[in-house]
Structure 1
Amino acid sequence: MSNNEGFFNKVYEVVKLIPSGRVTTYGAIASAIGSPGAGRMVGWAMNKAFSQPCFVPAHRVLNRNGQLTGKHAFPNADTMQELLESEGVEVENDKVKNFENIFWKPERVVD
């Protein structure tokens, strides 16, 4: 397993824990897996999430401002927003409303 694969798998395990109707950030996930400052690499992992054998709710991962910056990785431009809204998350102009209230902080993952 390459280093990227191991990193990506850790990311996917955290993302699978995000409760429906809640969101988190690339940076929060990076910190939770012991790689603070690796938020951009978490984004790369989210771009590859669709290649996983089981569902990874990548739509619940946003940038630090609550914006849907990863929407380009989904099948169409509206998919990320549609998935969030199906869980009761309000989105306006590609930004989650009440971001601070529905933010989910992942626990630190220990190897």
Structure 2
Amino acid sequence: MPSDLHERICDVVARIPSGRVATYGQIAKLAGLGGQARLVGYALYASDRPLPWHRVINARGEVSRRGDSYSELFQYQLLASEGVEFDGQGRISLRRFRWNGEAPPAAGESS
């Protein structure tokens, strides 16, 4: 059974809109768990919720290394399909693509 902390993290991740990214540390801070970026990774790994996990990257603007290169490649593909761009080193401009933490407008609302 997921912990309350994991649920708080997953609730924040669920709000990241398409075409935007957030860092592990940013997610922890928005969930009221500043300084616990690693917990974000654990929560995403343990969750069985359908979350946009691919929108969570490290503080350098990079896809974090995992045990297999397939999931990294898949993450790059998912982000690129949403319009997120990478530089020559495979980094994402946080200045350009970082989510501001606000909830996206509901269907039918103007922004």
Where on the TM-score scale, by shorter chain, does this alignment land: which range? 0.7 to 0.9
Deviation at 1:47, TM superposition (A): 1.9
Whether 2:55 is the aligned partner of 1:60: answer yes
For the residues of structure 2 that align with 1:36 and 1:77, how far apart are their CA atoms?
A: 26
Secondary structure in 2 matching 1:79: helix
Taking structure 2 as the reference length, the TM-score comes to 0.78
Deviation at 1:76, TM superposition (A): 3.1
Give the aligned partner of residue 69 of structure 1. 64
Give the aligned partner of residue 101 of structure 2. 106
* Corresponding residue pairs, total: 101
Q: Percent identity?
A: 35
For the residues of structure 1 that align with 2:35 and 2:68, how far apart are their CA atoms?
A: 22
Give the aligned partner of residue 42 of structure 2. 44
Secondary structure in 2 matching 1:83: helix
Give the aligned partner of residue 18 of structure 2. 20
Give the aligned partner of residue 10 of structure 1. 8
For the residues of structure 1 that align with 2:69 and 2:3, how far apart are their CA atoms?
A: 21
Q: Summarize the Cα distance change of 1:88–1:29 in structure 2 as closer, same or farther, 3 Å threshold.
A: same
Gaps of 5+ in 1: none
For the residues of structure 2 that align with 1:9 and 1:73, how far apart are their CA atoms?
A: 26
Gaps of 5+ in 2: 103-111
- Deviating 4+ runs (over 6 angstroms): none
